[in-house]
Amino acid sequence: MLKDKVAIVTGSTSGIGLGIARELARLRVNLVLNGFGDSGEIEAIRSGIEREHGVRVVYDGADMSKGDAVRRLIAATIETFGCLDILVNNAGIQFTAPVEEFPSAKWHAILDINLSAAFHGIAAAVPQMKKQRWGRIVNIASTHGLVASTHKAAYVAAKHGLIGLTKVVGLETAGSGVTCNAVCPGWVRTPLVEKQISDIAAQRNISQKDAAKALLGEKQPSSEFVSPEQLGGTVAFLCSPAADQITGTAIAVDGGWTAQ
C-alpha cells in the first residue's frame, strides 16, 4: 500500500517519532529521520531500520527551532528522493511553570518547535504534494490540543494552534489528493513523561510505579499508557486509502481522557 513512498518524521530519534518511523518502515516506506542525540546511537537506529525493513533511511539533523532549517529539510528530501509523500510533524519540547512565572525564552522555544516548525514544513511540502496529487500530512498534537492542564501555557497554546493549523491546511488542500490531520496522544511513556513521573515520585516520596499510576489516574481512564507503536498504527491508517476522505480533523488516542 505505501511501498516506496517517502516520509519525513521530525523528532524521530526516540519516543513517539521513532515508533511512527518504525511502523512506516514496516510498511516499506523510505524514511528521513530527524532529531537530536548521540551520533553513534542515531546511526545505529538508522542502519538498523534500513537493514530490518529493506528500505532507504537517511538522517537529517535539521534544527526544528529554525524555520529556514525546516524548509531546507523538505527541499533536501525532495532533492534526495525525487518526491515527498508523507510529512509527520512530531518534534516537540515541554516546560512547565505557572503562567506568571513562565520564562519568555521557554514560551518562544516551545512555540517555535511545537507549532512554527509544522507551519514551515507544511508550507514547503504542500507544493510538491499537490504536484504529485498525493500527500499525507500528520501533525502529532496532544490531548493538550483539545483540553488544558495547569502550568502548561506554552505547550497547550502551541498544540491548540497546531490543531487550528491542521484544519486550515485540510481545507486548503481538500480535493487535491493531499490530506492533513492531527493525532492527539494522551500519556505516552516517553522521556518527557518519564521526567514528570520522576517529579511526582520525588514530590510525594513514592515509587516510580506509584507515581506512574497517579499520573494516569488523574487524566487517563484506561489507566494504561498509549504506546508509540499504537500511534504509528494511527499514522499508517491516516496514510491508507481508508482515510482518503479524512482531512482537517483531530483524532484522540488518549484512553478516554478527552471523553470526560
Say if 206 falls within a structural domain.
yes
Is there a single domain that holds both residue 96 and residue 27? yes
User: What's the number of domains the chain is made of?
Assistant: 2
Q: What is the pLDDT of residue 195?
A: 87
Say if 250 falls within a structural domain.
yes
Span 158-172, average pLDDT: 98
Is there a single domain that holds both residue 196 and residue 242? no
Residues 133, 239: Cα–Cα separation, whole Å: 14
Is there a single domain that holds both residue 219 and residue 123? no
pLDDT at residue 109 is higher than 80: yes
Say if 158 falls within a structural domain.
yes
Is there a single domain that holds both residue 44 and residue 154? yes
Q: What is the pLDDT of residue 62?
A: 98
pLDDT-derived band at 114 (thresholds 50, 70, 90) equals very high
Is there a single domain that holds both residue 174 and residue 196? no
Whether the CB-CB separation of 90 and 17 falls below 8 Å is answered with yes
Domain that holds residue 162: 6-186+227-259
Residues 66, 70: Cα–Cα separation, whole Å: 6
The C-alpha cell at 33 is: 529521520
Closest to 95 (Cα-Cα) out of 84, 105, 86: 105
Q: What is the pLDDT of residue 231?
A: 97
Say if 21 falls within a structural domain.
yes
Span 194-217, average pLDDT: 93
Is there a single domain that holds both residue 53 and residue 168? yes
Say if 107 falls within a structural domain.
yes
Is there a single domain that holds both residue 204 and residue 119? no
Is there a single domain that holds both residue 43 and residue 69? yes
pLDDT-derived band at 157 (thresholds 50, 70, 90) equals very high
Q: For the segment 81-93, what is each residue's pLDDT rounded down to a tens digit?
A: 999 999 999 999 9
Catalytic residues: 155
Is there a single domain that holds both residue 125 and residue 219? no
Q: For the segment 225-236, what is each residue's pLDDT rounded down to a tens digit?
A: 999 999 999 999
Closest to 95 (Cα-Cα) out of 84, 76, 80, 108: 108
Looking only at Cα atoms, what is the longest distance across the chain?
Answer: 57
Q: What is the pLDDT of residue 190?
A: 86
Is there a single domain that holds both residue 116 and residue 211? no
pLDDT at residue 141 is higher than 80: yes
Q: For the segment 208-225, what is each residue's pLDDT rounded down to a tens digit?
A: 999 999 999 989 999 999
Amino acid found at 196: Q
Say if 154 falls within a structural domain.
yes
- E strand or H helix at 7: strand 6-9
Say if 1 falls within a structural domain.
no
Query: CATH number of the domain that 44 lies in?
Result: 3.40.50.720
Is there a single domain that holds both residue 101 and residue 176? yes
Q: What is the mean pLDDT of the chain?
A: 97
Q: For the segment 124-139, what is each residue's pLDDT rounded down to a tens digit?
A: 999 999 999 999 999 9
Span 156-185, average pLDDT: 98
Q: What is the pLDDT of residue 22?
A: 98
Q: What is the pLDDT of residue 192?
A: 75
pLDDT-derived band at 1 (thresholds 50, 70, 90) equals confident
Tallying the residues shown for the chain, one arrives at 260
The whole model's pTM is what?
Answer: 0.96
Is there a single domain that holds both residue 64 and residue 159? yes
Q: What is the pLDDT of residue 26?
A: 97
